[in-house]
């Protein structure tokens, strides 16, 4: 295995972790996302969803939640969410309305 290939294999997980950290920090600091994606929700978390929270979509490993209140990400963490990421943001791609 070449040195460049090994370096790329080591860099890829670090890049992913850095990207997730930026998203998680953005979620907590700005609280502007219209929805939130919770990774690996537990049954206890699902049983204690904060008030004013709606389930938008769910899969085996994630759940997307919408909330109208401020501090939604913080309340999700307080209820036991492991990782909360922003969802529903338009991004920087041009819209074709």
Q: What is the mean pLDDT of each run of 10 residues along the chain (97 residues)?
A: 84 92 90 89 89 88 87 89 85 60
Contacts of 23 (CB under 8 A, 6+ apart): 85, 86
Sign, CA torsion 31/21/64/75:
negative
How is the chain split into domains, by residue range? 3-87
What is the share, in percent, of the chain residues with pLDDT greater than 90? 38
């Amino acid at each position: 295995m070449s040195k460049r290939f090994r370096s790329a294999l080591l860099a890829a997980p670090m890049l992913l972790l850095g990207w997730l950290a930026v998203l998680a920090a953005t979620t907590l600091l700005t609280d502007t996302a219209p929805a939130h994606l919770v990774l690996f929700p537990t049954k206890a978390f699902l049983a204690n969803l904060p008030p004013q929270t709606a389930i938008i979509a769910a899969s085996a490993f994630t759940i997307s939640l919408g909330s109208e209140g401020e501090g939604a990400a913080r309340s999700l963490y307080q209820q036991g969410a492991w990782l909360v990421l922003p969802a529903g943001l338009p991004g920087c791609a041009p819209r074709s309305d």
